[in-house]
Structure 1
Amino acid sequence: MTPPKTADLVLTGGTVLTFDGEDREATALAVADGTVVAVGDVDHVTGPDTRVVDLRGRAVLPGINDSHLHGAWLGAIWPTTILGGGMGGGMGGDTHDGGTHGDTDGPGAPLLADAEARRAAILRTGRIIAPLGITSYTEPGLGPGEDAGRTGCFSSAVLDEYAALADEGLLTARVTVLRLFGELDGPSTLADFERGLGAPLPSTDPRRVNVTGVKIFADGIPPMRSAWTHRCYADGTSGHLLVDGAQDAEREANLHRMIDLAHRAGAQIGVHATGDRSIEAVVTAMADAIAAHGPAGRHYLIHGDLVSPEVLARLPGLGIGLNTQPGIAAATGPWLAAALGDEALRDAWPLRRAFEHGVPVCLSSDAPVIEPDWRRWIAAAAEWMGADPSPALMRRLLRAYTVNPARQDGAEAWKGSIEVGKVADLCVLEANPLDLAPADLPHVAVSMTVLDGRTVFEA
């Protein structure tokens, strides 16, 4: 029998929230060679060279996974956020057909004009998120559709820079990438999409940078009257799909074809869809692809502002997830009501119902639309749901930032929970979140962040 490895790092004297299948808790864990080697009893793996950290009552969680965060863009404009003001702040920017991504670059040069700027932005994002306990994030849209984009933040060159940094061992978070074959928040064509699916990808360690699939913009957002809805805006319009086509039927057919092509190629599909009508079209297309070709990928809706109860109930059976941003809901809810009425706002972002149906829900920031502080957005989610504070609620919301995003990444076998054999991606908090109301979580400091067994932040 092979003796256990001596640990490089032991955390002891606190609460370890494993978020494993049984939601077990422990008082200690041990790490060797970047992997969790013991949870609970760690004496047998503690040696003279082991670094032992006394938690002094602090809590250890799996590393936080912000499953919708524009890393290069965040690093380029921070501390500006689109909804928080500053350069390009607010919703007044006109980016293509009116999405959540404001005009942050103005008429001047691109934010990221060369490899040096791209590299600096990505590394800066690593420094921004490490003190937040974030060890994984998804770049939701990099590719040829934005190679001529005004910001330079979403191009194929950004993906190449991620791969280079991963190969050099310089990334301080794991990155999942969706490729983009149309414009960010703008139109896409079936021909460009089909051509893009066949484009080569940079070769890199998929546990560092993993291109899992594609991003499609189905529509815009309700405040800009560009979400495709069954309701009418004040001007009598109801939005439309951003996919190319002369009429609604042709646009919907082209969207259906895109989803079928990507599904058959084995790609994960993440679709920006906010209007109830666009969401129906997306889910129908995904369901048809699954029925025709079998399950593939971990497809999901991005934002899903006006998802209907009927569509929401279909998602678990199809294995379709929902990636939503409670911070954006809180910030833009009044604008949605102004665009579509108070009844639409009451039906919007039905987070409580999604959890009750068993939908795989991921909470995320969409930074730099808003800041990437997940503690604030867990508090916002609880407030939006109108739920009574409880440990069960906190567990559910924390899982939407750890376990569920690992599933979305197709990586739940090796990350997202604290279990022997999984990677040692950890977030240490000054207090146990299960003892707190969600509203109190933003006041709890992150004291340590560990990626692959390596400390990337320590207060």
Structure 2
Amino acid sequence: MTPDGGDPGATAIALRDGIVVRVGDDREVLALADASTEVVELAGRAVLPGINDAHLHATWLGALWPHTLFGELGGAGPAPLRPLTDDAQRRQAILRAGELLTSLGITSYTEPGLGPGEDRGETGAFGTSVAAQYRALAAEGLLRSRVTVLWLYGELDGPSELGGFLTGMAATDGATSDPRWLRFAGVKIFADGIPPMRSAYTHHCYADGGRSALLVAGDDDADREANLTRMILAAHRADRQVGVHATGDRSVQVALDAFEAARAERDVDLGHYIIHGDLVTASQLRRMAALGVGLDMQPEIALLTRDLVDDALGPGSAAAAWPLGAALDAEVPLCLTSDAPVLSPDWRRQIAAADTWMGPASDPRRRMDRLLRCYTVEPARQDHAASWKGMLAPGMAADLCVLEADPFGVTPAELPDVGVELTVVDGRVVYEHRARVEASKAV
């Protein structure tokens, strides 16, 4: 048993009413049992806190799976077909994604961008109608994972403007009946695009001599930067967490300047963070750590697009991008995420990709521990839920991912082959591997 934050030598865990009540040896835990206690024999399998993917488009994933938007070699995958045209389809897509995610041990995720900016979007997977379906499923007790949502007041991967942003913030209601299951945390802002498309906002030209601009509307670079700052300040004043899609070093700088200004104006930590941060610099990472600004990265995208980044920015540019090791060393709050359906939602692949990207580790066990925290402890912090989920310790949520083997006994490259045996959310089994079910029937 490997409960993060608890006793690494523990062999048993007791759950009651959706809460972990004890982690220890068999004798200590079984002493709490009574006639109504259900005992699940895990036979030495490893127990982790439930996996939390901090950046995953579940509704879109449910519509497209098993397809993803990236091909295995980094090229474009299938177009975003199969649009969701009515509420029944949106509901079914969310439920389908929930089944897939729990089969991977994922007990929490963030849907990063739903709202009026996409009410006429071509996929039908990001508008206010999707938010309404999440509310309905939460009220009916049908969500299989805990969900955090960011509101989106511009277009997905597209422009936004200050007036529409302010109007959207005033019009959308973030209240839910149980924020432990569904929480509308704040807002997402698209600052720029991505390096392979030459749409990341950078301090330097692309290899072809071109430049890019912020996606936020404005008359020129200075006006666009000012409007992005105004959006972030407005959200901070309204107690909204902000996730900024920023891949270029210049867009990251503008966002960090705005975050710092927001904290200077009102010193409240709302957990703001940068999404992607492909070209973030070492000095920016140190600044993020000092400000408490988080970073969500996708290591598999780094592997798949490195040649495209070199083509766009010049040979050798990819080697300096996605500085995962530097982010960990700087103690930036780092979440590894899939960005599904851009990629598969399989978190084991992201950990393997992160290890490959960073190169050989002097202490493989310590690296595995740090990378697992990027899918458990750090996302809980981003969710403002570190006090009640993300670790296996008394008083924490009974959200578990049970693996068939100890992740510390394999290399990160081998982790994708370690199967998920059982997923527990709020003390309830929501997924059990079929082979295990058949074995139990045979007893």
**TM-score under structure 2 normalisation?**
0.94
Which residue of 12, 23, 30 corresponds with 2:14?
Answer: 30
Asked if residue 420 in structure 1 is aligned to residue 394 in structure 2, the reply is yes
Q: In structure 2, how many angstroms separate the alpha carbons of the residues matched to 1:91 and 1:368? A: 12
CA contact (8 A) 1:302 1:324 kept: yes
Asked if residue 402 in structure 1 is aligned to residue 387 in structure 2, the reply is no
Q: In structure 1, how many angstroms separate the alpha carbons of the residues matched to 2:79 and 2:273? A: 26
Q: In structure 1, how many angstroms separate the alpha carbons of the residues matched to 2:7 and 2:14? A: 18
Give runs of aligned pairs for residues 84-95 of structure 1, distance below 5 A: 84=71, 90-91=75-76
Tell me the residue number matched to 2:86: 114
Which residue of 44, 51, 54 corresponds with 1:57?
Answer: 44
Give 1:50 deviation, angstroms: 1.5
1:54-101 C-alpha deviation (Å, 9 max, x unpaired): 21111000000011000100000101100037xxx9438xxxxxxxxx
Aligned partner of residue 31 in structure 2, secondary structure: helix
Asked if residue 73 in structure 1 is aligned to residue 60 in structure 2, the reply is yes
Aligned partner of residue 51 in structure 1, secondary structure: coil
Q: In structure 1, how many angstroms separate the alpha carbons of the residues matched to 2:224 and 2:33? A: 61
Q: 1:23 to 1:211 in 2, by over 3 A?
A: farther
Aligned length: 427
- The residue identity in structure 2 corresponding to 1:184 is L
Asked if residue 331 in structure 1 is aligned to residue 304 in structure 2, the reply is yes
CA contact (8 A) 2:207 2:314 kept: no
Asked if residue 368 in structure 1 is aligned to residue 341 in structure 2, the reply is yes
Q: In structure 1, how many angstroms separate the alpha carbons of the residues matched to 2:4 and 2:264? A: 32
1:159-206 C-alpha deviation (Å, 9 max, x unpaired): 110010011011100000000000000000000111111123253310
Tell me the residue number matched to 1:438: 412
Give runs of aligned pairs for residues 48-447 of structure 1, distance below 5 A: 48-84=35-71, 90-91=75-76, 103-105=79-81, 111-201=83-173, 203-388=176-361, 390-447=364-421
CA contact (8 A) 2:135 2:176 kept: yes
Aligned partner of residue 140 in structure 1, secondary structure: strand
- The residue identity in structure 2 corresponding to 1:414 is W
Q: In structure 1, how many angstroms separate the alpha carbons of the residues matched to 2:204 and 2:80? A: 30
CA contact (8 A) 1:130 1:172 kept: yes
Give 1:422 deviation, angstroms: 1.1
Q: In structure 1, how many angstroms separate the alpha carbons of the residues matched to 2:308 and 2:316? A: 13
Give 1:231 deviation, angstroms: 2.2
CA contact (8 A) 1:81 1:370 kept: yes
Aligned partner of residue 125 in structure 2, secondary structure: coil
Give 1:18 deviation, angstroms: 2.2
Q: In structure 2, how many angstroms separate the alpha carbons of the residues matched to 1:373 and 1:70? A: 13
Tell me the residue number matched to 2:440: none
Tell me the residue number matched to 2:23: 39
Give 1:158 deviation, angstroms: 0.4
Q: In structure 1, how many angstroms separate the alpha carbons of the residues matched to 2:337 and 2:34? A: 39
In structure 2, stretches of 5+ residues that fail to align are 434-443
Give 1:33 deviation, angstroms: 1.1
Aligned partner of residue 112 in structure 1, secondary structure: coil
- The residue identity in structure 2 corresponding to 1:404 is E
CA contact (8 A) 2:105 2:400 kept: yes
1:289-329 C-alpha deviation (Å, 9 max, x unpaired): 11111123100000000001111110111010010000111
Q: In structure 2, how many angstroms separate the alpha carbons of the residues matched to 1:55 and 1:37? A: 18
Tell me the residue number matched to 1:19: 4
Give 1:214 deviation, angstroms: 0.4
Q: In structure 2, how many angstroms separate the alpha carbons of the residues matched to 1:143 and 1:303? A: 21
CA contact (8 A) 1:267 1:296 kept: no
CA contact (8 A) 1:266 1:296 kept: no
**TM-score under structure 1 normalisation?**
0.91
Give 1:383 deviation, angstroms: 0.7
Tell me the residue number matched to 2:427: 453
Q: 1:387 to 1:295 in 2, by over 3 A?
A: farther
- The residue identity in structure 1 corresponding to 2:326 is R
Q: In structure 1, how many angstroms separate the alpha carbons of the residues matched to 2:128 and 2:3? A: 37
CA RMSD of aligned residues (A): 1.4
1:345-403 C-alpha deviation (Å, 9 max, x unpaired): 12100000000000000000000000000111101001101132611110000000000
Q: In structure 2, how many angstroms separate the alpha carbons of the residues matched to 1:287 and 1:269? A: 13
- The residue identity in structure 1 corresponding to 2:385 is A
Aligned partner of residue 323 in structure 1, secondary structure: strand
Tell me the residue number matched to 1:97: none
CA contact (8 A) 2:208 2:312 kept: no
Give 1:103 deviation, angstroms: 4.4
Q: 1:333 to 1:204 in 2, by over 3 A?
A: farther
CA contact (8 A) 1:263 1:296 kept: no
In structure 1, stretches of 5+ residues that fail to align are 1-14, 93-101
Identity %: 56
Aligned partner of residue 242 in structure 2, secondary structure: strand
Aligned partner of residue 171 in structure 2, secondary structure: coil
